[in-house]
Structure 1
Amino acid sequence: MGGIVDKTAGVFIKLFVFQWDFALFLLNLVTPDRKEGQVVPIGCPGHNLSWPEYVPPKEGDSRSACPMLNAMANHGILPHDGKNITFVELNHKIRQTFNFAPTFCFFVPKFAADFLNRSYWKDKFDLEEISKHNAIEHDASLTRQDAALVPDQAKPDLKLVHDLLAEATGKMADGSARLTIPDLSRALAKRRVDARKTNTNYSESFFHNVFGSSNSSTMLTLFGGSINDLTPMLTEERFSEHWEPRVRSRFGLTMAKFNMTVLPVERGVDTKKIEKEQAEAAGATN
Protein backbone atom coordinates (compact mmCIF):
# COMPACT_ATOMS: atom_id res chain seq x y z
CA MET A 1 0.00 0.00 0.00
CA GLY A 2 2.82 2.36 0.95
CA GLY A 3 4.50 1.82 -2.43
CA ILE A 4 1.34 2.77 -4.30
CA VAL A 5 0.94 5.92 -2.20
CA ASP A 6 4.58 6.88 -2.84
CA LYS A 7 4.22 6.38 -6.60
CA THR A 8 1.00 8.39 -6.70
CA ALA A 9 2.61 11.20 -4.72
CA GLY A 10 5.59 11.08 -7.10
CA VAL A 11 3.33 11.53 -10.11
CA PHE A 12 1.60 14.55 -8.55
CA ILE A 13 4.96 16.09 -7.62
CA LYS A 14 6.22 15.75 -11.20
CA LEU A 15 3.03 17.22 -12.64
CA PHE A 16 3.27 20.16 -10.26
CA VAL A 17 6.96 20.73 -11.07
CA PHE A 18 6.36 20.65 -14.83
CA GLN A 19 3.46 23.13 -14.55
CA TRP A 20 5.53 25.38 -12.29
CA ASP A 21 8.42 25.15 -14.74
CA PHE A 22 6.27 26.23 -17.69
CA ALA A 23 4.96 29.17 -15.69
CA LEU A 24 8.55 30.27 -14.98
CA PHE A 25 9.37 29.81 -18.67
CA LEU A 26 6.58 32.25 -19.54
CA LEU A 27 7.62 34.70 -16.84
CA ASN A 28 11.15 34.73 -18.23
CA LEU A 29 9.73 35.92 -21.54
CA VAL A 30 8.19 39.04 -20.02
CA THR A 31 10.66 39.99 -17.27
CA PRO A 32 14.07 41.67 -17.71
CA ASP A 33 17.23 39.57 -17.60
CA ARG A 34 19.71 39.87 -14.78
CA LYS A 35 22.52 42.32 -15.45
CA GLU A 36 25.94 41.01 -16.42
CA GLY A 37 28.02 40.47 -13.30
CA GLN A 38 24.85 40.11 -11.24
CA VAL A 39 23.66 36.65 -12.34
CA VAL A 40 24.88 35.06 -9.10
CA PRO A 41 22.91 36.62 -6.19
CA ILE A 42 24.48 39.15 -3.84
CA GLY A 43 26.25 37.44 -0.95
CA CYS A 44 26.72 34.15 -2.82
CA PRO A 45 30.05 32.77 -4.09
CA GLY A 46 30.57 33.99 -7.63
CA HIS A 47 28.66 37.26 -7.29
CA ASN A 48 30.22 40.04 -9.33
CA LEU A 49 32.42 37.43 -11.09
CA SER A 50 34.40 36.65 -7.94
CA TRP A 51 34.76 32.95 -7.11
CA PRO A 52 36.25 31.41 -3.96
CA GLU A 53 39.77 30.00 -4.18
CA TYR A 54 40.13 26.78 -6.15
CA VAL A 55 41.60 23.94 -4.10
CA PRO A 56 42.05 20.58 -5.88
CA PRO A 57 40.62 17.53 -4.12
CA LYS A 58 42.90 15.74 -1.71
CA GLU A 59 43.07 12.04 -0.92
CA GLY A 60 39.88 10.91 0.78
CA ASP A 61 37.70 13.66 -0.71
CA SER A 62 34.55 12.49 -2.48
CA ARG A 63 33.95 13.47 -6.09
CA SER A 64 31.36 12.53 -8.71
CA ALA A 65 31.16 11.98 -12.47
CA CYS A 66 29.76 15.52 -12.83
CA PRO A 67 32.40 18.22 -13.46
CA MET A 68 30.15 21.05 -12.27
CA LEU A 69 29.35 19.46 -8.91
CA ASN A 70 33.04 18.70 -8.44
CA ALA A 71 33.93 22.30 -9.27
CA MET A 72 31.49 23.51 -6.62
CA ALA A 73 33.32 21.35 -4.06
CA ASN A 74 36.76 22.39 -5.32
CA HIS A 75 35.79 26.04 -4.78
CA GLY A 76 34.22 25.36 -1.38
CA ILE A 77 30.66 26.15 -2.49
CA LEU A 78 29.78 22.61 -1.46
CA PRO A 79 31.81 21.02 1.35
CA HIS A 80 35.32 20.55 0.00
CA ASP A 81 35.44 16.93 1.09
CA GLY A 82 32.27 16.32 -0.92
CA LYS A 83 30.60 14.51 1.96
CA ASN A 84 27.41 14.74 4.04
CA ILE A 85 25.61 17.06 1.64
CA THR A 86 21.86 17.41 2.02
CA PHE A 87 19.73 17.24 -1.12
CA VAL A 88 18.06 20.50 -0.09
CA GLU A 89 21.47 22.19 0.21
CA LEU A 90 22.38 20.91 -3.25
CA ASN A 91 19.18 22.43 -4.60
CA HIS A 92 19.97 25.86 -3.19
CA LYS A 93 23.66 25.86 -4.17
CA ILE A 94 23.02 24.80 -7.77
CA ARG A 95 20.40 27.55 -8.06
CA GLN A 96 22.75 30.22 -6.77
CA THR A 97 25.81 29.08 -8.70
CA PHE A 98 24.43 28.27 -12.15
CA ASN A 99 21.11 30.16 -12.32
CA PHE A 100 19.07 27.06 -13.01
CA ALA A 101 15.37 27.59 -12.36
CA PRO A 102 14.08 26.42 -8.94
CA THR A 103 12.12 23.68 -10.73
CA PHE A 104 15.31 22.28 -12.26
CA CYS A 105 17.12 22.57 -8.93
CA PHE A 106 14.40 20.58 -7.17
CA PHE A 107 13.83 17.97 -9.87
CA VAL A 108 17.43 16.74 -10.28
CA PRO A 109 18.35 16.41 -6.56
CA LYS A 110 14.96 14.78 -5.94
CA PHE A 111 15.71 12.31 -8.74
CA ALA A 112 19.10 11.60 -7.15
CA ALA A 113 17.52 11.06 -3.73
CA ASP A 114 15.02 8.65 -5.24
CA PHE A 115 17.59 6.48 -7.03
CA LEU A 116 19.68 6.38 -3.85
CA ASN A 117 16.57 5.41 -1.85
CA ARG A 118 17.01 8.45 0.39
CA SER A 119 14.66 11.12 1.64
CA TYR A 120 15.10 14.35 -0.31
CA TRP A 121 13.97 16.31 2.75
CA LYS A 122 16.02 14.66 5.49
CA ASP A 123 18.96 12.63 4.18
CA LYS A 124 22.53 13.32 3.08
CA PHE A 125 24.89 11.91 0.47
CA ASP A 126 28.52 11.97 -0.68
CA LEU A 127 29.33 13.17 -4.20
CA GLU A 128 30.70 9.78 -5.30
CA GLU A 129 27.30 8.22 -4.64
CA ILE A 130 25.81 10.32 -7.44
CA SER A 131 27.95 8.23 -9.82
CA LYS A 132 25.78 5.15 -9.37
CA HIS A 133 25.93 3.43 -12.75
CA ASN A 134 22.99 3.92 -15.10
CA ALA A 135 21.27 6.42 -12.83
CA ILE A 136 22.67 9.86 -13.68
CA GLU A 137 26.08 8.41 -14.63
CA HIS A 138 25.93 6.51 -17.92
CA ASP A 139 28.11 4.90 -20.58
CA ALA A 140 29.56 7.00 -23.43
CA SER A 141 30.16 10.08 -21.29
CA LEU A 142 32.11 12.83 -23.02
CA THR A 143 34.47 13.31 -20.07
CA ARG A 144 34.73 9.85 -18.44
CA GLN A 145 35.57 6.37 -19.65
CA ASP A 146 32.76 3.88 -19.00
CA ALA A 147 32.46 2.64 -15.43
CA ALA A 148 33.08 -0.94 -16.57
CA LEU A 149 36.54 0.17 -17.73
CA VAL A 150 37.31 2.77 -15.06
CA PRO A 151 35.17 2.18 -11.93
CA ASP A 152 36.35 5.39 -10.25
CA GLN A 153 34.42 8.14 -12.01
CA ALA A 154 35.84 10.97 -9.89
CA LYS A 155 38.42 12.20 -12.41
CA PRO A 156 38.02 13.24 -16.05
CA ASP A 157 39.72 11.37 -18.86
CA LEU A 158 41.82 14.15 -20.35
CA LYS A 159 42.08 12.53 -23.79
CA LEU A 160 38.29 12.38 -24.03
CA VAL A 161 38.03 16.00 -22.90
CA HIS A 162 40.58 17.22 -25.43
CA ASP A 163 38.89 15.20 -28.19
CA LEU A 164 35.62 16.92 -27.28
CA LEU A 165 37.11 20.42 -27.22
CA ALA A 166 38.79 19.78 -30.56
CA GLU A 167 35.34 19.37 -32.15
CA ALA A 168 34.66 23.11 -31.78
CA THR A 169 33.88 24.81 -35.10
CA GLY A 170 32.13 27.94 -33.84
CA LYS A 171 33.52 31.31 -32.81
CA MET A 172 32.77 33.53 -29.82
CA ALA A 173 32.36 37.27 -30.28
CA ASP A 174 36.05 37.73 -29.45
CA GLY A 175 37.08 35.16 -32.08
CA SER A 176 37.89 32.36 -29.63
CA ALA A 177 36.65 28.82 -30.26
CA ARG A 178 33.10 27.74 -29.40
CA LEU A 179 31.25 24.43 -29.41
CA THR A 180 28.01 24.41 -31.38
CA ILE A 181 24.98 22.11 -31.34
CA PRO A 182 26.26 20.12 -34.38
CA ASP A 183 29.70 19.85 -32.73
CA LEU A 184 28.18 18.37 -29.59
CA SER A 185 25.97 15.98 -31.57
CA ARG A 186 29.00 14.74 -33.47
CA ALA A 187 31.06 14.30 -30.28
CA LEU A 188 28.26 12.29 -28.69
CA ALA A 189 27.93 10.11 -31.79
CA LYS A 190 31.66 9.37 -31.77
CA ARG A 191 31.63 8.47 -28.09
CA ARG A 192 28.68 6.10 -28.47
CA VAL A 193 30.32 4.33 -31.40
CA ASP A 194 33.68 4.06 -29.62
CA ALA A 195 32.12 2.98 -26.31
CA ARG A 196 30.25 0.15 -28.02
CA LYS A 197 33.56 -1.11 -29.38
CA THR A 198 35.63 -0.85 -26.21
CA ASN A 199 33.12 -1.79 -23.49
CA THR A 200 31.73 -5.32 -23.68
CA ASN A 201 29.25 -4.35 -20.95
CA TYR A 202 28.09 -1.24 -22.80
CA SER A 203 24.46 -0.33 -22.19
CA GLU A 204 22.35 2.28 -23.89
CA SER A 205 18.74 3.38 -23.68
CA PHE A 206 16.68 6.30 -24.91
CA PHE A 207 16.62 7.68 -21.36
CA HIS A 208 20.40 7.54 -20.98
CA ASN A 209 20.97 9.01 -24.43
CA VAL A 210 18.72 11.97 -23.64
CA PHE A 211 20.33 12.33 -20.22
CA GLY A 212 23.75 12.32 -21.91
CA SER A 213 22.59 15.04 -24.28
CA SER A 214 21.19 16.96 -21.30
CA ASN A 215 24.45 16.78 -19.37
CA SER A 216 26.38 17.85 -22.44
CA SER A 217 24.01 20.70 -23.30
CA THR A 218 25.00 22.60 -20.17
CA MET A 219 28.21 23.34 -22.08
CA LEU A 220 26.13 25.30 -24.58
CA THR A 221 23.61 26.92 -22.25
CA LEU A 222 25.60 27.82 -19.14
CA PHE A 223 29.00 28.20 -20.84
CA GLY A 224 27.90 29.40 -24.26
CA GLY A 225 30.11 26.70 -25.76
CA SER A 226 33.20 28.80 -24.89
CA ILE A 227 36.33 26.64 -25.09
CA ASN A 228 38.17 29.15 -22.90
CA ASP A 229 35.64 28.59 -20.10
CA LEU A 230 35.07 24.88 -20.70
CA THR A 231 38.76 23.93 -20.68
CA PRO A 232 39.37 24.62 -16.96
CA MET A 233 35.92 23.27 -16.06
CA LEU A 234 36.41 19.95 -17.84
CA THR A 235 40.14 19.40 -17.23
CA GLU A 236 40.57 20.79 -13.69
CA GLU A 237 36.91 21.11 -12.64
CA ARG A 238 37.50 24.76 -11.91
CA PHE A 239 35.61 27.98 -12.74
CA SER A 240 37.57 30.20 -15.09
CA GLU A 241 38.42 33.66 -13.81
CA HIS A 242 35.54 36.16 -14.11
CA TRP A 243 33.13 33.48 -15.36
CA GLU A 244 29.41 33.63 -14.73
CA PRO A 245 26.49 31.64 -16.17
CA ARG A 246 25.58 32.69 -19.69
CA VAL A 247 21.90 32.24 -18.77
CA ARG A 248 20.70 35.57 -17.36
CA SER A 249 16.95 34.88 -17.28
CA ARG A 250 15.28 36.39 -14.21
CA PHE A 251 13.87 33.04 -13.02
CA GLY A 252 16.77 30.91 -14.24
CA LEU A 253 17.15 28.20 -16.85
CA THR A 254 13.90 26.24 -16.92
CA MET A 255 13.56 22.66 -18.08
CA ALA A 256 11.28 23.87 -20.88
CA LYS A 257 13.94 26.27 -22.18
CA PHE A 258 16.77 23.78 -21.65
CA ASN A 259 14.99 21.18 -23.78
CA MET A 260 15.17 23.59 -26.71
CA THR A 261 18.90 22.83 -26.74
CA VAL A 262 18.82 19.21 -25.55
CA LEU A 263 16.42 17.91 -28.19
CA PRO A 264 18.30 19.35 -31.21
CA VAL A 265 21.55 17.96 -29.79
CA GLU A 266 20.09 14.47 -29.42
CA ARG A 267 18.33 14.60 -32.80
CA GLY A 268 21.66 15.44 -34.42
CA VAL A 269 23.47 12.38 -33.05
CA ASP A 270 24.18 10.19 -36.09
CA THR A 271 26.14 7.08 -35.09
CA LYS A 272 25.65 5.46 -38.50
CA LYS A 273 27.45 8.37 -40.16
CA ILE A 274 30.38 8.00 -37.76
CA GLU A 275 30.51 4.24 -38.32
CA LYS A 276 30.60 4.82 -42.10
CA GLU A 277 33.37 7.42 -41.78
CA GLN A 278 35.43 5.09 -39.60
CA ALA A 279 34.94 2.17 -42.01
CA GLU A 280 36.00 4.33 -44.96
CA ALA A 281 39.04 5.57 -43.06
CA ALA A 282 40.01 2.01 -42.15
CA GLY A 283 39.59 0.92 -45.77
CA ALA A 284 41.79 3.75 -47.00
CA THR A 285 44.66 2.66 -44.75
CA ASN A 286 44.51 -1.00 -45.80
Structure 2
Amino acid sequence: MGIAQKVTDPFLKLSVFGWDFGLFILNILTPDLKPGQVIPAHAAGHNLTWPEYVAPRDGDSRSACPMLNAMANHGILPHDGKNITFKELTTKVRETFNFASSFCFFVPKFAADFLERSYWSDKFDLAELNMHAQNAIEHDGSLTRHDVALVPDQGKPDLQLVDELLKEATGTMPDSSPRLTIPDLSRALSKRRYHARKTNKEYSESFFHNFFGSSNSATMLTLFAGSITDLRPMLIEEKFPEHWEPAVRDRYGLTMAKFNSTVIPVERGIDTKKIEQEEAAQNSPSAL
Protein backbone atom coordinates (compact mmCIF):
# COMPACT_ATOMS: atom_id res chain seq x y z
CA MET A 1 0.00 0.00 0.00
CA GLY A 2 3.02 2.33 0.36
CA ILE A 3 2.21 5.90 1.39
CA ALA A 4 -1.49 5.18 0.89
CA GLN A 5 -1.55 3.04 4.05
CA LYS A 6 -4.23 3.93 6.55
CA VAL A 7 -3.59 4.13 10.28
CA THR A 8 -5.98 1.20 10.62
CA ASP A 9 -3.52 -0.91 8.62
CA PRO A 10 -1.90 -3.34 11.11
CA PHE A 11 1.67 -2.74 9.89
CA LEU A 12 1.42 1.05 10.01
CA LYS A 13 -0.38 0.98 13.35
CA LEU A 14 2.29 -1.31 14.81
CA SER A 15 5.03 0.96 13.45
CA VAL A 16 3.47 4.08 14.97
CA PHE A 17 2.88 2.40 18.34
CA GLY A 18 6.47 1.13 18.36
CA TRP A 19 7.71 4.63 17.57
CA ASP A 20 5.48 6.01 20.34
CA PHE A 21 6.73 3.51 22.91
CA GLY A 22 10.32 4.38 22.03
CA LEU A 23 9.59 8.04 22.77
CA PHE A 24 7.85 7.01 26.00
CA ILE A 25 11.07 5.29 27.15
CA LEU A 26 13.20 8.26 26.07
CA ASN A 27 11.02 10.56 28.17
CA ILE A 28 11.71 8.37 31.20
CA LEU A 29 15.47 8.45 30.58
CA THR A 30 15.84 12.18 29.82
CA PRO A 31 15.21 15.26 31.98
CA ASP A 32 12.01 17.25 31.58
CA LEU A 33 11.93 20.57 29.80
CA LYS A 34 12.24 23.56 32.12
CA PRO A 35 9.15 25.65 32.91
CA GLY A 36 8.84 28.45 30.39
CA GLN A 37 10.80 26.50 27.78
CA VAL A 38 8.29 23.85 26.69
CA ILE A 39 7.48 25.55 23.39
CA PRO A 40 10.44 25.68 20.95
CA ALA A 41 12.27 28.97 20.43
CA HIS A 42 11.11 29.30 16.82
CA ALA A 43 7.44 28.58 17.55
CA ALA A 44 4.47 30.76 18.46
CA GLY A 45 4.00 30.82 22.23
CA HIS A 46 7.69 30.64 23.12
CA ASN A 47 8.52 32.57 26.29
CA LEU A 48 4.80 32.37 27.16
CA THR A 49 3.91 35.00 24.56
CA TRP A 50 1.11 34.14 22.13
CA PRO A 51 0.24 35.88 18.85
CA GLU A 52 -2.69 38.29 18.93
CA TYR A 53 -6.11 36.71 19.32
CA VAL A 54 -8.63 37.58 16.61
CA ALA A 55 -12.13 36.14 16.92
CA PRO A 56 -13.49 34.19 13.93
CA ARG A 57 -14.96 36.29 11.14
CA ASP A 58 -17.90 35.47 8.89
CA GLY A 59 -16.83 32.82 6.44
CA ASP A 60 -13.99 31.46 8.59
CA SER A 61 -13.85 27.69 8.97
CA ARG A 62 -13.87 26.22 12.46
CA SER A 63 -13.98 22.69 13.88
CA ALA A 64 -15.52 21.00 16.89
CA CYS A 65 -12.08 21.04 18.58
CA PRO A 66 -11.44 24.12 20.77
CA MET A 67 -7.66 23.72 20.60
CA LEU A 68 -7.51 23.69 16.79
CA ASN A 69 -9.86 26.67 16.68
CA ALA A 70 -7.64 28.53 19.16
CA MET A 71 -4.64 27.91 16.90
CA ALA A 72 -6.53 29.52 14.03
CA ASN A 73 -7.79 32.39 16.19
CA HIS A 74 -4.18 33.21 17.09
CA GLY A 75 -2.89 32.79 13.53
CA ILE A 76 -0.80 29.69 14.30
CA LEU A 77 -2.92 27.97 11.67
CA PRO A 78 -4.40 30.13 8.89
CA HIS A 79 -6.96 32.41 10.54
CA ASP A 80 -9.64 31.52 8.03
CA GLY A 81 -9.11 27.86 8.92
CA LYS A 82 -8.82 26.85 5.28
CA ASN A 83 -6.35 25.08 2.99
CA ILE A 84 -4.31 23.55 5.79
CA THR A 85 -2.00 20.67 4.92
CA PHE A 86 -2.08 17.64 7.20
CA LYS A 87 1.69 17.82 7.54
CA GLU A 88 1.42 21.47 8.64
CA LEU A 89 -1.14 20.42 11.24
CA THR A 90 1.27 17.78 12.54
CA THR A 91 4.09 20.30 12.94
CA LYS A 92 2.03 23.09 14.48
CA VAL A 93 0.24 20.86 16.99
CA ARG A 94 3.58 19.36 18.02
CA GLU A 95 5.09 22.80 18.64
CA THR A 96 2.03 24.30 20.32
CA PHE A 97 0.90 21.55 22.69
CA ASN A 98 4.01 19.36 23.11
CA PHE A 99 2.39 16.18 21.88
CA ALA A 100 4.91 13.53 20.87
CA SER A 101 5.76 13.35 17.17
CA SER A 102 4.15 9.89 16.99
CA PHE A 103 0.90 11.26 18.43
CA CYS A 104 1.03 14.27 16.08
CA PHE A 105 1.35 11.97 13.09
CA PHE A 106 -1.30 9.46 14.14
CA VAL A 107 -4.25 11.86 14.61
CA PRO A 108 -3.80 14.01 11.44
CA LYS A 109 -3.17 10.81 9.47
CA PHE A 110 -6.42 9.41 10.87
CA ALA A 111 -8.19 12.63 9.85
CA ALA A 112 -6.75 12.44 6.34
CA ASP A 113 -7.90 8.84 6.06
CA PHE A 114 -11.52 9.43 7.06
CA LEU A 115 -11.67 12.47 4.75
CA GLU A 116 -10.25 10.23 2.01
CA ARG A 117 -7.32 12.58 1.42
CA SER A 118 -3.59 12.10 1.16
CA TYR A 119 -1.81 12.97 4.39
CA TRP A 120 1.29 13.73 2.35
CA SER A 121 -0.08 16.13 -0.27
CA ASP A 122 -3.69 17.21 0.35
CA LYS A 123 -5.29 20.09 2.26
CA PHE A 124 -8.43 20.51 4.34
CA ASP A 125 -10.59 23.13 6.05
CA LEU A 126 -11.19 22.92 9.80
CA ALA A 127 -14.96 22.56 9.35
CA GLU A 128 -14.40 19.38 7.33
CA LEU A 129 -13.24 17.68 10.53
CA ASN A 130 -16.86 18.01 11.72
CA MET A 131 -18.00 15.32 9.31
CA HIS A 132 -20.27 13.11 11.40
CA ALA A 133 -20.55 10.14 9.06
CA GLN A 134 -18.05 8.07 11.04
CA ASN A 135 -18.64 9.62 14.49
CA ALA A 136 -14.91 10.20 14.56
CA ILE A 137 -13.28 13.53 15.44
CA GLU A 138 -16.73 15.13 15.74
CA HIS A 139 -18.84 12.81 17.88
CA ASP A 140 -22.04 12.64 19.88
CA GLY A 141 -21.85 13.40 23.59
CA SER A 142 -19.24 16.16 23.35
CA LEU A 143 -18.67 18.23 26.48
CA THR A 144 -18.62 21.55 24.61
CA ARG A 145 -21.04 20.99 21.72
CA HIS A 146 -24.57 19.67 21.40
CA ASP A 147 -24.85 16.77 18.98
CA VAL A 148 -24.74 17.64 15.29
CA ALA A 149 -28.26 16.26 14.80
CA LEU A 150 -29.47 19.06 17.08
CA VAL A 151 -26.98 21.82 16.25
CA PRO A 152 -25.46 21.45 12.77
CA ASP A 153 -22.85 24.21 13.30
CA GLN A 154 -20.15 22.48 15.33
CA GLY A 155 -17.69 25.35 14.95
CA LYS A 156 -18.91 27.22 18.04
CA PRO A 157 -18.98 26.09 21.68
CA ASP A 158 -22.24 25.86 23.59
CA LEU A 159 -21.66 28.14 26.56
CA GLN A 160 -24.19 26.39 28.80
CA LEU A 161 -22.48 23.04 28.29
CA VAL A 162 -19.08 24.60 28.97
CA ASP A 163 -20.38 26.23 32.14
CA GLU A 164 -21.83 22.90 33.34
CA LEU A 165 -18.49 21.22 32.68
CA LEU A 166 -16.42 23.80 34.54
CA LYS A 167 -18.78 23.62 37.54
CA GLU A 168 -17.89 19.93 37.95
CA ALA A 169 -14.42 20.83 39.26
CA THR A 170 -13.80 19.60 42.80
CA GLY A 171 -10.00 19.70 42.85
CA THR A 172 -7.63 22.52 43.75
CA MET A 173 -4.59 23.89 41.95
CA PRO A 174 -1.45 24.90 43.93
CA ASP A 175 -2.70 28.51 43.90
CA SER A 176 -6.03 27.36 45.41
CA SER A 177 -7.97 27.93 42.18
CA PRO A 178 -10.41 25.17 41.08
CA ARG A 179 -9.16 22.12 39.23
CA LEU A 180 -10.92 19.46 37.17
CA THR A 181 -9.98 15.93 38.26
CA ILE A 182 -10.32 12.50 36.65
CA PRO A 183 -13.52 11.68 38.63
CA ASP A 184 -14.90 15.12 37.73
CA LEU A 185 -14.34 14.49 34.05
CA SER A 186 -15.84 11.00 34.24
CA ARG A 187 -18.94 12.46 35.89
CA ALA A 188 -19.24 15.23 33.30
CA LEU A 189 -19.01 12.70 30.47
CA SER A 190 -21.54 10.46 32.22
CA LYS A 191 -24.02 13.31 32.32
CA ARG A 192 -23.44 14.30 28.70
CA ARG A 193 -23.81 10.78 27.35
CA TYR A 194 -26.94 10.20 29.41
CA HIS A 195 -28.60 13.45 28.32
CA ALA A 196 -27.44 13.09 24.71
CA ARG A 197 -29.12 9.68 24.52
CA LYS A 198 -32.35 11.20 25.86
CA THR A 199 -32.45 14.25 23.60
CA ASN A 200 -30.94 13.00 20.33
CA LYS A 201 -32.91 10.24 18.63
CA GLU A 202 -29.99 9.80 16.21
CA TYR A 203 -27.45 9.37 19.01
CA SER A 204 -24.86 6.70 18.38
CA GLU A 205 -21.84 5.38 20.20
CA SER A 206 -19.37 2.52 20.17
CA PHE A 207 -16.29 1.55 22.14
CA PHE A 208 -14.16 3.53 19.70
CA HIS A 209 -16.49 6.55 19.87
CA ASN A 210 -16.51 6.51 23.68
CA PHE A 211 -12.75 6.10 23.95
CA PHE A 212 -12.18 8.91 21.43
CA GLY A 213 -14.53 11.16 23.41
CA SER A 214 -12.65 10.43 26.62
CA SER A 215 -9.37 11.06 24.81
CA ASN A 216 -10.52 14.45 23.56
CA SER A 217 -11.69 15.38 27.03
CA ALA A 218 -8.58 14.08 28.81
CA THR A 219 -6.44 16.76 27.15
CA MET A 220 -7.99 19.13 29.68
CA LEU A 221 -6.28 17.12 32.44
CA THR A 222 -2.93 16.58 30.71
CA LEU A 223 -2.19 19.73 28.72
CA PHE A 224 -4.05 22.09 31.07
CA ALA A 225 -3.54 20.18 34.34
CA GLY A 226 -7.30 20.57 34.87
CA SER A 227 -6.91 24.28 35.65
CA ILE A 228 -10.30 25.98 35.37
CA THR A 229 -8.54 29.35 35.13
CA ASP A 230 -6.79 28.19 31.95
CA LEU A 231 -9.64 26.10 30.57
CA ARG A 232 -12.21 28.87 30.76
CA PRO A 233 -10.77 31.07 27.95
CA MET A 234 -9.84 28.01 25.89
CA LEU A 235 -13.33 26.52 26.00
CA ILE A 236 -15.41 29.72 25.88
CA GLU A 237 -13.41 32.03 23.58
CA GLU A 238 -11.14 29.35 22.12
CA LYS A 239 -8.22 31.50 23.14
CA PHE A 240 -4.85 30.74 24.74
CA PRO A 241 -4.63 32.02 28.32
CA GLU A 242 -2.02 34.69 28.92
CA HIS A 243 1.41 33.31 29.86
CA TRP A 244 0.21 29.74 29.26
CA GLU A 245 2.25 26.76 28.17
CA PRO A 246 1.42 23.03 28.12
CA ALA A 247 1.57 21.34 31.50
CA VAL A 248 3.31 18.38 29.83
CA ARG A 249 7.07 18.94 30.07
CA ASP A 250 8.28 15.58 28.73
CA ARG A 251 11.26 16.24 26.50
CA TYR A 252 9.86 14.20 23.60
CA GLY A 253 6.28 15.27 24.16
CA LEU A 254 3.13 13.57 25.39
CA THR A 255 3.07 10.04 24.00
CA MET A 256 -0.03 7.96 23.39
CA ALA A 257 1.36 5.43 25.87
CA LYS A 258 1.45 7.99 28.68
CA PHE A 259 -1.77 9.71 27.63
CA ASN A 260 -3.70 6.47 28.01
CA SER A 261 -2.83 6.41 31.70
CA THR A 262 -5.26 9.33 32.00
CA VAL A 263 -7.77 8.35 29.30
CA ILE A 264 -8.43 4.83 30.57
CA PRO A 265 -9.36 5.87 34.15
CA VAL A 266 -11.61 8.62 32.75
CA GLU A 267 -13.46 6.16 30.52
CA ARG A 268 -13.65 3.46 33.21
CA GLY A 269 -15.17 5.98 35.63
CA ILE A 270 -18.11 6.83 33.37
CA ASP A 271 -21.41 5.62 34.83
CA THR A 272 -24.54 6.78 33.01
CA LYS A 273 -26.75 4.48 35.08
CA LYS A 274 -25.72 6.34 38.24
CA ILE A 275 -26.75 9.64 36.64
CA GLU A 276 -30.08 8.12 35.61
CA GLN A 277 -30.70 6.90 39.17
CA GLU A 278 -29.76 10.27 40.67
CA GLU A 279 -32.09 12.16 38.38
CA ALA A 280 -34.91 9.69 38.98
CA ALA A 281 -34.48 10.15 42.73
CA GLN A 282 -34.51 13.93 42.37
CA ASN A 283 -37.72 13.81 40.34
CA SER A 284 -39.52 11.31 42.54
CA PRO A 285 -42.59 12.57 44.49
CA SER A 286 -40.78 12.08 47.80
CA ALA A 287 -38.03 14.47 46.70
CA LEU A 288 -40.49 17.24 45.77
Q: TM-score range by the shorter chain?
A: over 0.9
| Equivalent position of 1:12 in the other structure | 11
| Partner SS for 1:71 | helix
Distance in 1 (alpha carbons) for counterparts of 2:173 and 2:7 = 47
Q: Which segment is superposed worse, 114-123 or 7-16?
A: 7-16
| Partner SS for 1:204 | coil
| Equivalent position of 1:211 in the other structure | 212
Distance in 2 (alpha carbons) for counterparts of 1:61 and 1:223 = 26
| Equivalent position of 2:237 in the other structure | 236
| Partner SS for 2:9 | helix
By how many angstroms is 1:159 displaced? 0.2
Distance in 2 (alpha carbons) for counterparts of 1:35 and 1:117 = 40
| Equivalent position of 1:129 in the other structure | 128
By how many angstroms is 1:11 displaced? 2.2
Describe the shift of the 1:282–1:73 C-alpha distance in structure 2 as closer, same or farther (beyond 3 A). Answer: same
**RMSD of equivalent CA atoms:** 1.5
| Equivalent position of 1:85 in the other structure | 84
| Equivalent position of 1:272 in the other structure | 273
Letter in structure 2 aligned against 1:108: V
Q: What percentage of residue pairs aligned between the two structures are identical?
A: 73
| Equivalent position of 1:255 in the other structure | 256
By how many angstroms is 1:8 displaced? 9.9
8 Å Cα contact 2:140/2:196 also seen in 1: yes
| Partner SS for 2:197 | helix
| Equivalent position of 1:53 in the other structure | 52
By how many angstroms is 1:21 displaced? 0.4
| Partner SS for 2:146 | coil
Describe the shift of the 1:41–1:6 C-alpha distance in structure 2 as closer, same or farther (beyond 3 A). Answer: closer
Distance in 1 (alpha carbons) for counterparts of 2:7 and 2:287 = 58
Describe the shift of the 1:60–1:18 C-alpha distance in structure 2 as closer, same or farther (beyond 3 A). Answer: same
- Using the size of structure 2 for normalisation, the TM-score is 0.96
Q: Deviations over 1:94-120 (max 9, x none)?
A: 000000000000000000000000000
Distance in 2 (alpha carbons) for counterparts of 1:148 and 1:24 = 40
Letter in structure 1 aligned against 2:91: H
| Equivalent position of 2:34 in the other structure | 35
| Equivalent position of 2:139 in the other structure | 138
By how many angstroms is 1:12 displaced? 1.5
Q: Deviations over 1:112-159 (max 9, x none)?
A: 000000000000000000111112111010000000000110000000
Distance in 1 (alpha carbons) for counterparts of 2:136 and 2:215 = 14
| Partner SS for 1:64 | coil
Distance in 2 (alpha carbons) for counterparts of 1:172 and 1:95 = 26
- Using the size of structure 1 for normalisation, the TM-score is 0.97
Letter in structure 2 aligned against 1:36: P
Q: Which runs of 5+ in 2 are unaligned?
A: none
Letter in structure 1 aligned against 2:162: V
Describe the shift of the 1:195–1:8 C-alpha distance in structure 2 as closer, same or farther (beyond 3 A). Answer: closer
| Equivalent position of 1:100 in the other structure | 99
